[in-house]
Structures are given as structure tokens and as C-alpha cells.
């Protein structure tokens, strides 16, 4: 078997993804999202910027012929090349695995020449990997350690300080003494998963799985099993704890005693998960009996209400659309305002336009979904030195509908995203495949291509987000009001 750095990266993120990448039917994968392509392009631009610092050479070999690529790479290093870009490292399992037939393939971003003794003379090499992330993730360290091990086999000299170059050219040195044992353990685990007759158990994690091309395939299997990972709030660690209590399905979770093993799982967590399981089994929302006092009805309301949503590219600290739906209950009218930065330099302008709208409707509550909008308002206020007298009054008006839902109701849904909740209510986005990630891609293409249809799609999506928030707020207000009413007296 050939264990590549890409497979090792997949394993570190998800053992099931590793197995499916090896043995799965690729026809069952989701199409690659444009957002992934965008991230790949940004990483390549990051690499291109760094290449200007090196006198580099790239090995040429037939596509997919790794043996030829490794031979050319070794020849370039033997000749003392200053930097080998996308070199190929091949090695055996003798030093890394008990299975001597296992082979390893690594393709570090750079192999950089440095002083030191090697089989070639008074120089050696170290691997440098360029990643788009802001922090040195464990999977990055693990793959870089594999590259260091393969390079050491090849050059006959230890690698001292392999590096990760992250976003904004932050340099992080990988501690090989710490990561070498972890690499060997991961390789052993990979061998066990590879040799298994079936794929590892499915586990749906919204954050971890969101960009995986096997997501729909795994969701189908999880739904067929009524797998507990579909219950909002069940993390891998909580899932393991529930298994130790013999809870492996929705029905068992719905009957779980919160005090059955309070040392392992806090009773309030069990109570929350139990309510969630009951909502899913009954296919209806359930009022949380122990909800915090801050989320008891009535839900804030006013004659004029604002519904606020942002489109942004957080990695660039850019908020390019501040959208507000103004709902006037007195006149029965609704008007959407799109404060759009057609160029990133216009962010301060749209911030001032947004503030002016807030001041036009003093006292009107500003409904939004999740914490990002408030965090962004604070960031923009600090960045553009908004008067301190304006901000506190404005922030007091913000109402987080996501917090109200999650703290007061158990919904019969797999997650509490705006899309999932609003779709459960019957709301439909005009562009069915649109998403926050997609608006980032559209905006990037707008900046490069100037196609105004892309801006129109972004505005349309943002308006739908605002209207979905409005729809959810209306439903929640009605639900809380009806659920809190005392039962009607029954005549005997």
C-alpha cells in the first residue's frame, strides 16, 4: 500500500473519510464546492508570493509517476539546488511501521537547502509547508513530520526544524520529538482502518464535515440509522459517554435519566439532549421547561423592527454587505436596504450608511441570527472610531434570534442553522444552492470579472437571510405565546 500525505491528512480529520478516499465509490461524492476551489487558489497565491524569496526549481516527471518524481527530486538535491518546489519524497515502512511493505509518499511545498552534513556533502534540506490557516493545526504538524521522516531517510541526515508557513507568512517550527510518536501511532491506526472490511462508524459533525465531499453520502447513512450524531449538541466525547450508559438510539436518549451518571455527563446537558431527542421522535418543537429567565416570553417586538444580516469574508476582515430589512407594522410595509461595498475600500462608507439607518429608527429592535452581527458591529465601531455615545444605545437594541431559539425550544431538526430552521418553517431561498461561503466566491469573482449579476445574487441571498430571520422570529413569538398560555378548563 502507498500511504500518501493527503491520505494521512484525511485520516487526521476523519478516519471514515480516509477509508472512503481509499475504497469508496467516487461517483457518490458531492461535487467539489467553489469555495474549496477558491481556498486552493488563495493557497497557491500564498505560495507564489513566497516563491519570490527563493531561487527555486521544480522537478519534471510524468504525471503520477512518483518513482520518477522522487528520482528527479533526489538528483536536484544532490546537485545542491537552493530550493526544490513540490519535490517528491518516497520511503519504505521500515522506520515508520511494522509493515515493511508499506510505502509512503510526501510532497512538501518546499525543500530548502541549509548548512549541514548529508549524503551529498556539506548541505542538507528541511521541509517547509505553506498552509492557508491562521494556526498550526495538528494535521499540518503530522504531515510535516512525515515529510521530515522521509527526507531524513533520503538525505541520511536528521531534519532539525521543519517549518509551517501560515497566513500572513507566520512561521511555526514543528517539534519533531513531540510529533514523531504521534505519527507512528497514526500510521498504525491507518493500517487498521485500511484493513477493515467496512467503513468506520459514521459521525456527522457540522463543522468538521461541512466541506467534505462525502457529506451527503454519510448523512444518508446516518439518517437511515437514526444515528445520535444527528442530534444537535452531541459531540464525539458526549457520544462516547452515552455509549457507556447503553444509549445508542433516539428512543433510549429520550428516556435517559439526567442523574443516571451525573459525574460523566452534567444533568443539564442530559436534560437538553433528552428534549432534543423527544422533539425529533415526535417531529414537533417542544418548549424547554428549564430555559433561562432571560428567554422567557414575551419576545421583544415593536411597531418598527429591523432584521440585520452580514455577508463577509472573515479571513480578510472584510464585511462587504450589511443588509437590513425594515418591517413597519403600523403601515404594513417592508423595505430592504443593501449597504454594499462594491470595492473593499468602501467598507467605511457602508458602515456609516448602516449607522445612519439605525439612527433613523431610534428604539427599533435589531433582530439578527447568532453572535457574528454583534461582534462585527463592535469591530467596525472600533475600526472606524464610532462615537462611544452611539454604540451602547445601538447594541442594547440587538436581539439574537438564534439564542432565543436554542435557549427556549427543542426543534425537530439536525442543526440550528438559519437555513435548517427556516426551511423547516417552509421558507425557501430564491437561489437554492446559495450559501454564505458561496457569496464569498461571488464577491471574489465580482472583483475580478465585474459581472454585476454576481452582486445581484449576493444581495438577493442577503435579503432572503433577513426575511428568513423575520419568519423565524414571527414563528417563535407565536410559539412561545401559545406554549405559555395556561390550559383551558374542562367542564366535568
For residue 115, the surrounding DSSP H or E stretch is strand 110-118
| Rounded average pLDDT over 78-82 | 97
Q: Is 252 among the domain residues? A: no
Rounded Cα distance, 186 and 3, in Å:
11
Same domain, 187 and 309: no
Q: Is 294 among the domain residues? A: no
| Rounded average pLDDT over 426-455 | 95
Q: Assess whether pLDDT exceeds 50 at residue 463.
A: yes
Last residue of a domain, one of 139, 171, 195: 195
Poorest-pLDDT segment among 179-188, 264-273, 405-414, 477-486: 477-486
Same domain, 460 and 319: yes
User: Which of 229, 260, 258 is CA-nearest to residue 245?
Assistant: 260
| Rounded average pLDDT over 3-27 | 95
Check residues 392 and 138 and name the one with the higher pLDDT. Answer: 138
Cα of 348 vs its chain's centroid, Å:
28
| Rounded average pLDDT over 92-104 | 80
Last residue of a domain, one of 148, 165, 195: 195
Query: How does the average pLDDT of the chain come out, rounded?
Result: 92
Give the CATH number of the domain where residue 328 resides: 3.30.420.10
Number of domains in the chain: 2
Q: How far is CA 255 from CA 71, 146, 266, 373, 414, in A?
A: 62, 47, 16, 37, 19
pTM: 0.88
Q: Assess whether pLDDT exceeds 50 at residue 251.
A: yes
- pLDDT at residue number 392: 66
Lookup: cell for 45:
497565491
Per cent of the chain over pLDDT 70 is 97
| Rounded average pLDDT over 450-475 | 97
- pLDDT at residue number 492: 32
Last residue of a domain, one of 195, 220, 240: 195
Same domain, 351 and 473: yes
Rounded Cα distance, 315 and 64, in Å:
33
Same domain, 314 and 180: no
| Rounded average pLDDT over 469-487 | 86
| Rounded average pLDDT over 251-280 | 88
Instruction: Give the single-character DSSP code of 26.
Output: G
Same domain, 311 and 190: no
Q: Assess whether pLDDT exceeds 50 at residue 52.
A: yes
| Rounded average pLDDT over 440-466 | 96
Q: Is 48 among the domain residues? A: yes
Same domain, 191 and 314: no
Contact 406/421 with Cβ under 8 angstroms?
no
Helices (H), 52-98: 66-78
Give the CATH number of the domain where residue 78 resides: 3.90.320
Q: Is 60 among the domain residues? A: yes
- pLDDT at residue number 134: 87
Q: What is the DSSP string of 271-340?
A: HHHHHHHHHHHHTS-EE-TT--GGGPSPPP--SEEEEEEEEEEGGGTEEEEEEEEEEETTTTEEEEEEEE
- pLDDT at residue number 488: 40
Q: Is 248 among the domain residues? A: no
- pLDDT at residue number 487: 42
Q: Assess whether pLDDT exceeds 60 at residue 489.
A: no
| Rounded average pLDDT over 377-395 | 81
59-72 residue pLDDT tens: 999 999 999 999 99
184-208 residue pLDDT tens: 999 999 999 999 989 999 999 888 8
- Structural domain span for residue 448: 304-482
Q: Is 63 among the domain residues? A: yes
Lookup: cell for 17:
473519510
Q: Is 290 among the domain residues? A: no
Rounded Cα distance, 472 and 405, in Å:
9
Rounded Cα distance, 183 and 411, in Å:
42
Per cent of the chain over pLDDT 90 is 82
Poorest-pLDDT segment among 68-72, 80-84, 162-166, 250-254: 250-254
Q: Is 231 among the domain residues? A: no
Q: Which residues of 354-375 are buried (b: 16+ CB within 10 A; e: fewer)?
A: bbebbeebeebbbbbbbebbbe
| Rounded average pLDDT over 389-410 | 87
Rounded Cα distance, 194 and 466, in Å:
46
| Rounded average pLDDT over 82-106 | 88
Same domain, 189 and 334: no
312-371 residue pLDDT tens: 998 788 999 999 999 999 999 999 999 999 999 999 999 999 999 999 999 899 999 999
Same domain, 168 and 314: no
Amino acid at each position: 500500500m502507498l500511504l500518501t500525505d493527503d491520505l494521512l491528512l484525511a485520516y487526521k480529520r476523519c478516519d471514515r473519510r480516509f477509508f472512503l478516499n481509499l475504497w469508496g465509490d467516487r461517483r457518490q461524492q458531492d461535487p467539489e464546492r467553489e469555495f474549496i476551489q477558491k481556498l486552493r487558489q488563495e493557497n497557491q497565491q500564498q505560495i507564489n508570493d513566497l516563491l519570490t524569496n527563493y531561487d527555486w526549481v521544480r522537478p519534471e516527471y510524468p504525471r503520477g509517476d512518483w518513482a520518477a518524481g522522487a528520482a528527479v527530486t533526489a538528483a536536484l538535491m544532490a546537485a545542491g539546488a537552493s530550493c526544490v518546489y513540490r519535490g517528491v519524497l518516497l520511503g519504505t515502512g521500515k522506520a515508520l511501521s511494522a509493515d515493511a511493505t508499506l510505502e509512503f509518499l510526501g510532497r512538501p511545498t518546499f525543500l530548502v537547502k541549509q548548512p549541514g552534513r548529508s549524503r551529498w556533502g556539506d548541505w542538507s534540506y528541511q521541509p517547509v509547508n505553506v498552509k492557508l490557516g491562521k494556526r498550526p493545526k495538528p494535521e499540518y504538524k503530522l504531515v510535516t513530520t512525515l515529510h521530515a521522516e522521509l527526507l531524513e531517510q533520503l538525505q541520511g541526515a536528521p531534519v532539525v526544524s521543519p517549518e509551517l508557513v501560515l497566513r500572513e507568512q507566520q512561521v511555526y517550527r514543528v517539534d519533531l520529538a513531540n510529533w514523531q510518536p504521534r505519527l507512528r501511532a497514526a500510521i498504525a491506526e491507518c493500517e487498521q482502518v485500511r484493513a477493515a472490511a467496512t467503513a468506520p462508524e459514521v459521525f456527522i459533525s457540522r463543522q468538521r464535515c461541512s466541506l467534505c465531499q462525502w457529506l451527503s453520502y454519510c448523512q444518508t447513512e446516518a439518517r437511515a440509522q437514526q444515528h445520535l450524531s444527528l442530534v444537535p449538541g452531541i459531540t464525539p466525547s458526549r457520544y462516547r459517554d452515552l455509549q457507556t450508559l447503553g444509549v445508542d438510539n433516539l428512543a433510549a436518549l429520550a428516556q435517559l435519566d439526567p442523574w443516571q451518571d451525573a459525574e460523566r455527563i452534567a444533568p443539564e446537558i442530559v436534560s437538553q439532549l433528552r428534549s432534543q431527542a423527544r422533539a425529533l421522535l415526535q417531529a414537533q418543537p417542544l418548549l424547554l421547561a428549564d430555559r433561562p429567565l432571560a428567554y422567557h416570553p414575551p419576545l421583544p417586538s415593536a411597531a418598527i423592527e429591523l432584521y440585520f444580516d452580514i455577508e463577509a469574508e472573515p479571513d480578510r476582515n472584510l464585511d462587504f454587505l450589511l443588509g437590513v430589512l425594515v418591517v413597519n407594522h403600523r403601515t404594513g410595509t417592508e423595505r430592504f436596504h443593501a449597504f454594499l461595498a462594491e470595492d473593499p475600500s468602501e467598507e467605511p462608507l457602508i458602515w456609516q450608511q448602516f449607522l445612519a439607518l439605525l439612527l433613523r429608527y431610534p428604539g427599533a429592535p435589531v433582530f439578527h441570527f447568532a453572535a457574528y452581527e454583534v461582534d462585527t458591529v463592535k469591530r467596525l465601531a472600533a475600526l472606524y472610531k464610532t462615537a462611544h455615545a452611539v454604540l451602547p444605545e445601538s447594541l442594547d437594541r440587538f436581539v439574537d434570534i438564534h439564542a432565543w431559539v436554542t435557549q427556549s425550544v427543542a426543534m425537530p431538526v439536525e442543526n440550528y442553522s438559519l437555513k435548517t430552521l427556516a426551511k423547516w418553517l417552509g421558507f425557501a431561498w430564491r437561489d437554492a444552492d446559495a450559501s454564505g461561503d458561496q457569496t464569498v466566491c461571488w464577491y471574489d469573482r465580482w472583483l475580478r470579472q465585474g459581472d454585476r449579476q454576481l452582486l445581484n445574487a449576493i444581495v438577493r441571498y442577503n435579503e432572503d437571510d433577513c426575511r428568513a430571520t423575520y419568519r423565524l422570529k414571527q414563528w417563535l413569538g407565536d410559539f412561545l405565546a401559545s406554549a405559555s398560555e395556561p390550559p383551558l378548563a374542562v367542564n366535568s
